[in-house]
Chains A and B, each alone.
Chain A
Amino acid sequence: DSGVTQTPKHLITATGQRVTLRCSPRSGDLSVYWYQQSLDQGLQFLIQYYNGEERAKGNILERFSAQQFPDLHSELNLSSLELGDSALYFCASSATGPRYGYTFGSGTRLTVV
């Protein structure tokens, strides 16, 4: 157990639907990062939150949004889902930024049918 909890582990949904992925960071970590990994691809940075505020944005689609709550857990909302959104979505957390290494969750496998 890495200390970063992602739920659910697997999600199957239909095109056009909306889903919410949840992440609880490791205790004490203020930063949460979301990444998307499509099949046999590298990881694409989506967005980062630090202590409740958006810190950096990557290649995140307008159909996707995220937030970090006062208890530091984060949610990634994906709407109007398309087949191409099928991927593994990772959450990672860190205490002082990525320079000291992320702790990754085990990911949420999203399948859009």
Chain B
Amino acid sequence: AQTVTQSQPEMSVQEAETVTLSCTYDTSESDYYLFWYKQPPSRQMILVIRQEAYKQQNATENRFSVNFQKAAKSFSLKISDSQLGDAAMYFCAYSGGTYKYIFGTGTRLKVLA
């Protein structure tokens, strides 16, 4: 069975600094997709970034980028130039051969002014 692990329950970052959130996963599938979702205090789940496992190039969306290490089964999220609006729960998610996501337990990110 596939698993997703987020080992950092909480992280803090100074405004304008860079922070990296960690995610590891376990799977025997060769074709899969990885995601980062943001859940602000409003509780709305917002897709931040998506990575296809067959692509070696790391995905980037503005200030958000990933470090995808397929062999190590690691998928970290880097947030550059952190802003107060980045404060939220961040969930890593895996999607493979089944028609569902498997979510990690989340990392709460605090942004300090």
Chain A residues bordering chain B, tally (CB within 8 A): 27
A48 to B43 CA separation, bound complex (whole angstroms): 21
Q: Are B103 and A42 in contact (CB under 8 A)?
A: yes
Q: Is B47 an interface residue (CB 8 A)?
A: yes
Q: Which residues of the other chain, A, contact B33 by a CB distance below 8 angstroms? A: 98-100
Q: Which residues of the other chain, B, contact A92 by a CB distance below 8 angstroms? A: 45
Q: B-side binding surface: helix, strand, loop or mixed?
A: loop
A109 to B42 CA separation, bound complex (whole angstroms): 12
Q: Which residues of the other chain, A, contact B100 by a CB distance below 8 angstroms? A: 33, 45, 48, 56, 58, 98
In the complex, residue of chain A having the shortest beta-carbon distance to the beta carbon of B108: A40
Q: Which of A98, A104, A109 contacts B95 (CB 8 A)?
A: A98
Interface residues on B, range: 20 to 34
Q: Which residues of the other chain, A, contact B101 by a CB distance below 8 angstroms? A: 33, 43, 45, 98, 102
Q: Which residues of the other chain, A, contact B91 by a CB distance below 8 angstroms? A: 42-43
With contact pairs A42-B91, A42-B105, A43-B91 given, residues A48 and B47 touching in the complex (Cβ less than 8 Å): no
Q: Which residues of the other chain, B, contact A56 by a CB distance below 8 angstroms? A: 98-100
Query: Binary interface profile of B, 75-113, with partner A (CB < 8 Å = 1, else 0)?
Result: 000000000000000010001001111111110000000
In the complex, residue of chain A having the shortest beta-carbon distance to the beta carbon of B99: A56
Query: Binary interface profile of A, 95-108, with partner B (CB < 8 Å = 1, else 0)?
Result: 00111111110110
Query: Binary interface profile of A, 39-76, with partner B (CB < 8 Å = 1, else 0)?
Result: 01111010010100001101000000000000000000
Q: Would you give the shortest CB distance from B17 to chain A, in whole angstroms? A: 25
Q: Is B68 an interface residue (CB 8 A)?
A: no
Q: Which residues of the other chain, A, contact B45 by a CB distance below 8 angstroms? A: 43, 90, 92, 102, 104
Q: 14 A–B contact pairs at CB < 8 A?
A: A2-B44, A41-B105, A42-B91, A42-B106, A43-B101, A45-B100, A90-B45, A98-B99, A101-B35, A103-B47, A104-B45, A106-B42, A107-B43, A109-B43
